[in-house]
Structure 1
């Protein structure tokens, strides 16, 4: 009689990150409402039980996926401003950010908007949005005063949302003019 075959254990050191990335992709495709454990597990190509091993539930998984997206976007955002050396560079960088989204994929903006909406209904997610906004403002505060950074950050968010949702988005020249006005000293 031969010994029973040893169970082969799959070595998968990046499984948790793959699950989080799959959750981001699923939320982009299906929205928060259409995101389930089964769909995420299938997208990540992992057993369903892996999700409960790494996450306490679907809310925890979504929150960690949103945080992962925010961290990734924050790094790209900060890197986007690395070459800014003058006020004109800042205007150019903000304009490029609005029109090119700092290299973000369009589906990442879809998930960002899913996060914003989810955070309206789930106060626990506001820590993710707050951290993301603080990080964005922190980058801008390298160039402008904190109150100006707050306004500029809101302008950037609004302009990107308008570009994403509008059937006739602002031109690059219109965006540049809006950014210049936001950065110009008030008269008198």
Structure 2
């Protein structure tokens, strides 16, 4: 009789799967994401997928929740670091024109598309918008915040799709106009 194989201990496996799911979505879209592609990207056995997640919806929800939380934390940190309204304006412009890479832009749009098609995912986008608005309300009134939040989303879309991306000066002027009420 052969002795039983030792059980592999991998306490970070679930997190690795979630991170790999975001990588797969960024590369192939939600439509190209499957248990098999995520398992391969995470370098885990396919059976780990059903062990850790009840289905693809749970995995997508977990992945997009993690992504939205990270994006919200960036805005919250930027608004907390701003000592006045002018610094808050500059922080918003920096976020819109700054370091967000193609991956984050693609993930944002994949989440929006999923939420537009699947109402069950709208709670994620609504929570993300609410958290963003709370961060912006540290420096701007609620009406201005709603307009500013919409501007940020619109500028992000333009940045993702425009072959001639808007210059920082254009974003700064748009933020100034909205916040100078």
Same fold (TM over 0.5): yes
**For the pair shown, which has the larger CA radius of gyration, 1 or 2?**
1
Which whole-Å deviations, capped at 9, do the CAs of 1:159-185 have from their partners, x for residues lacking one? Answer: 111112111122111111100000011
> Counterpart in 2 of 1:75?
73
Q: Which of 17, 39, 42 is 1:44 aligned to?
A: 42
- Quote the offset at 1:56 in angstroms: 1.0
> Counterpart in 2 of 1:105?
101
> Counterpart in 2 of 1:22?
20
Which whole-Å deviations, capped at 9, do the CAs of 1:41-84 have from their partners, x for residues lacking one? Answer: 00001111111111111121111111111111111221122321
CA RMSD of aligned residues (A): 1.2
Structure 2: gaps (5+ residues): none
- Quote the offset at 1:126 in angstroms: 0.3
- Taking the aligned partners of 2:121 and 2:151, their CA distance within structure 1 comes to 22
Query: How high is the TM-score relative to the length of structure 1?
Result: 0.92
> Counterpart in 2 of 1:118?
114
Aligned residues: 181
Q: Specify the SS of the correspondent of 2:106.
A: helix
> Counterpart in 2 of 1:156?
152
Q: Which of 42, 55, 58 is 2:56 aligned to?
A: 58
- Taking the aligned partners of 1:147 and 1:54, their CA distance within structure 2 comes to 42
Structure 1: gaps (5+ residues): none
Q: Specify the SS of the correspondent of 2:80.
A: coil
Structure 1 runs, 4 residues or longer, greater than 4 Å off: none
Please list, as runs of the form range in 1=range in 2, the aligned pairs for 1:132-171 lying within 5 A after superposition.
132-171=128-167
